[in-house]
Chains A and B, each alone.
Chain A
Amino acid sequence: MNEHKQIIESIPFYAAGTLPEEERERIAQHLEQCADCRAELELWQSISEEIHTSNEALQTPALRPIPVKKPSRHLWKAWYILRSQVPLIRTEIWLSSALVTLLGIIVSLFLENANMIYFLAPFISAAGVAYIYGLKNDPALELTLATPVSAQQILLARLTLVFGYNILLILASSMFLLLVNGQLAQFSWAVLLEWMAPMAFLSSLALFCSLLWGSVNAVVVTYALWIMRGIMPKLTISWLYSANLPTLANFLKDLETPSHLLLISAALIVLSLWFTDKKKISLLG
């Protein structure tokens, strides 16, 4: 395409004043030499002027009232389910978690070491989560399951409430301890993940075990595993190295990183949700 033809195409936009500066200058230079293009510009300018004149005389109508923005239907539903599950969760869960956390704070203050609260966090949360579901923990569960809310939604709502409550408790306690010890500057997302990941892992494991073997057994199994993990890992890993199994030893070492623990937690929750549906069928069937 020759330059003249290109410029002819751009003249409407030149007349409208919407071209970039560089192109505008190029066209202005061309216009000085080309009478045809000047006539073209004149035509477009008269059209532009007419379109502006006819439109600018228009009165913009006033807007009708706009409705207040509300959260989406799904958010309302989630909020409704969460709220409805609060009275159905065993009261002891809230109380015992708060009391054990308080005990943790006292011990931490006495030892002048905030790590005590991080050590207790997975235990507190796992114990609470192990008691959120099942006929023994909620005598009205059969009735609840007959409502249109699915068993998975109920389980997720209760897990969110109890796990969320425990996270808030531990977070508030750790902030308090860091403040008292003058170590608030040490707080970081990495520190947060360090205690939140084991907490999520042990809680999801407790949830899964509670669905399989009941709440008491779930607490025993998860506590035993966590205590063993505290004592055994160095022995196990060094044994694996000596037994010429470095890949397995490395795998076990990697397993304890926060990201891996969170991934395992997510998988356990998905398994629990799947299992809840099966349990619901056996309960109502």
Chain B
Amino acid sequence: MQAERSMPRNLLFDSSSSTDEELLRYITRGNSLAFNCLYERYGQRLYAYALRLTENPAQAEDILQESMLIVWRKSAAYRGEGSVQAWLLSIIRNKCMQLYRQKPTESIEGSDLDFADDALSMEKDISQQDERSRVREALQRLSPEHREVLELVFYQGLNQKEIAQVCRCPLGTVKSRLSYARQQLRGILTRDRQDDKG
């Protein structure tokens, strides 16, 4: 990360006591320390989300870098509707969607194939796995959009309204995706346990 280049803009900034909204206001004024602080707070989670959506570390990193550049340049676009974290995640998601639109066959079909391959290898090894591996593999069998909602609930710590905001879908869709993911996971896990016993 580049150290700050404009010292006067970075004065009077206290990273520990600043809220996310305050950090964005500082960033709008060109404060690179505030920008670093925001990245320290959310960088990991944003990267994890980008990786979840792309399933490709190099693409996830590019998306993260480009999204952070958008935050740096257009932080004034944050209007205070929803949390800063949800706003950041929606930028990451938009970037991913742009990427998919640019290379539809390569990215989307590629990830579907990965899922299929994973599923095949899973079938062979599943009897040897412990409970945690079962959950991991069950998660991998979920469709990307259902897995995405689980990531937003458990890793990003968003509520239903924020998830709807990030995914740009109605609240009902969030609920149904969550319910479908639950049914799928329970079904997969139950089936696997029965297979083990059988």
Contact = CB atoms under 8 A, between A and B. Distances in A.
A and B associate in one complex:
yes
Interface of A: 9, 12-13, 15-18, 40, 43-44, 46-55, 58, 60-69
B182 A50 contact: no
A13 B30 CA distance: 36
B160 A50 contact: no
B132 A69 contact: no
B157 A60 contact: no
Contacts of A64: 2, 65
Contacts of B68: 63, 66
A13 B159 contact: yes
Contact of B1 (A43, A54, A55, A63): A63
Contacts of A46: 131-132, 135
A40 B175 CA distance: 16
A68 B157 contact: no
Interface in B37-87: 39, 43-45, 47-48, 51, 61, 64-65, 68-69, 72-73
B100 interface: no
Contacts, number: 95
Chain B interface extent, by class: 35 or more
B32 A52 contact: no
A64 B175 CA distance: 37
Contact of B185 (A9, A16, A43, A62): A43
B101 interface: no
A251 B38 CA distance: 56
A54 B136 contact: yes
5 nearest A-B residue pairs (beta carbon) = A65-B2, A69-B30, A55-B48, A48-B154, A63-B1
Interface string B1-18: 110011001000000000
Given A18-B157, A47-B150, A58-B48, A66 B2 contact: yes
B126 interface: no
A66 B31 CA distance: 11
Contacts of A66: 2, 32, 35, 68-69, 72
Contacts of A50: 132, 135-136, 139
Contacts of A44: 154, 182
Contacts of B157: 16-18
B34 to A, nearest CB: 12
12 contacts: A13-B159, A18-B158, A18-B159, A44-B182, A49-B135, A50-B132, A50-B139, A65-B1, A66-B68, A66-B69, A69-B30, A69-B72
B151 interface: yes
A69 to B, nearest CB: 4
Interface in B134-165: 135-136, 139, 150-151, 153-155, 157-160
A49 to B, nearest CB: 8
A52 B43 contact: no
B178 interface: yes
Contacts of A51: 139, 150-151, 154-155
B154 A63 contact: no
A23 to B, nearest CB: 11
A47 B48 CA distance: 16
Contacts of B185: 43, 47
A46 to B, nearest CB: 5
Contacts of A13: 153, 159-160
A43 B186 contact: yes
Contacts of A54: 136
A63 B48 contact: no
B13 to A, nearest CB: 15
B127 interface: no
Given A46-B135, A51-B151, A9 B179 contact: yes
A193 to B, nearest CB: 29
